[in-house]
Every structure is written in C-alpha cells, then in structure tokens.
Amino acid sequence: MSDHTLLAFNPESSSIKLGLFAIEPRGMRAIGGGEVDLPEKPLTLRVDRGGRGSISR
C-alpha cells in the first residue's frame, strides 16, 4: 500500500491553521500541524510535530 497524506487548511479571521494527516485503513491519524498568527509581524509558522489524536471512519 502506498502512503497517503492529507493537508487541511482552516483560515480564520486572525490565523490560518494547518493539519497534516496520514490516511490509513482504519481512518485518518494526525501527524502534525501548524498555525500562522496573522496580526503577528513578521508572520511566523508555528509547527507541532506528532499527532494529538485521530479521526476514525
């Protein structure tokens, strides 16, 4: 089986949140994410490596 990943974007009024998920037979597993705080200058991407949970089918 080949590796499958999903990158999710959640734009909000003051930030953009990103989620990286592995798509597995039992569902999706969070493997990382990040956030850009738009009012903050200079813009910085804060990254969280590793998952905080999973989304099952």
Per-residue model confidence as pLDDT tens digits over 8-57 = 999 999 999 999 999 998 888 888 999 999 998 998 888 887 655 444 44
Count the alpha carbons within 13 Å of 26 in the hemisphere toward its beta carbon.
3
| Predicted pLDDT at 37 | 92
Query: Tokens in use for 32?
Result: 């990382």
| Predicted pLDDT at 48 | 83
| Predicted pLDDT at 56 | 43
> Which pLDDT band, with edges at 50, 70 and 90, does 2 fall under?
low
Residues 18, 9: contact at Cβ < 8 Å?
Answer: yes
| Predicted pLDDT at 54 | 45
What own/partner pairs with CB < 8 Å and gap ≥ 24 does 20-25 have? 21/55, 25/1
What are the domain boundaries of the chain?
Answer: 5-51
